Structure 1
């Protein structure tokens, strides 16, 4: 894959780079548990087939909007994502993408990360999302 092809693929995955970096800066400013949730959801979203760069950029921007609002209101993570974070993310992404295959390992990683972000006892406290 040439550098131009790689750049095109990356743009389809994350959208225009300027918008991506603006999104990343917003996530960095979130309180710790909301940032952990955002990063876990972001990682999971990377499994979905990109439709176009603008649609995907909008998806990440909307995720940042949502998490900024709930953080400002002090809404617990679990009230946002519910008991099944996979179901939440897959419903969220339906507004932006055709979807894709998500391996079971990625589903478990998302679920575990949201449990940590929600402050639930998973036996994995102190570990970071990989």
Structure 2
């Protein structure tokens, strides 16, 4: 990874954060809770994938339609996030594969 890639990544992240800050306060709160949960659960492609920008797109559409954030995702934020990443490999999956002795994993 070159310095130019790092700089470009920071620019993209700052633009993403600016989009989040432009959302109404209730959307921002829910987004931050979703982000915190997703960083904990750890989908492998979270940092460079389309998941977080896709959530912001979805929220921006909800704002434009005049809907509240809980109308869009429901009251269980974790369940909504789990549904978003149900088909994505997580770091926990990779770790489990490495200790179970599956092909490609390290054996103990």
Please report the TM-score for the alignment, with normalisation by the length of structure 2. Answer: 0.65
Q: Distance in 2 between matches of 1:24 and 1:61?
A: 10
Instruction: Quote the offset at 1:54 in angstroms.
Output: 2.6
Structure 2 counterparts to residues 18-33 of structure 1, below 5 A: 18-33=11-26
Match of residue 90 from structure 2: 99
Instruction: Quote the offset at 1:100 in angstroms.
Output: 5.2
What stretches of structure 1 of length at least 5 have no aligned partner?
5-10, 102-130
Structure 2 counterparts to residues 33-72 of structure 1, below 5 A: 33-52=26-45, 53-55=47-49, 58-72=50-64
Give the number of aligned pairs. 85
What stretches of structure 2 of length at least 5 have no aligned partner?
93-108
Aligned match of 1:81 in 52, 73, 79? 73
Instruction: Quote the offset at 1:32 in angstroms.
Output: 0.8
> 4+ residue stretches of structure 1 with deviation over 2 A?
16-19, 48-54
Taking a change above 3 Å as real, the CA distance of residues 79 and 99 of structure 1, as seen in their structure-2 partners, is farther
Structure of greater Rg:
2
Q: CA RMSD in A?
A: 2.3
Instruction: Quote the offset at 1:80 in angstroms.
Output: 1.4
Higher relative contact order (CA 8 A, sep 6+): 1
Q: Distance in 2 between matches of 1:76 and 1:50?
A: 27
Instruction: Quote the offset at 1:83 in angstroms.
Output: 3.2
Instruction: Quote the offset at 1:69 in angstroms.
Output: 0.8
Instruction: Quote the offset at 1:93 in angstroms.
Output: 2.3
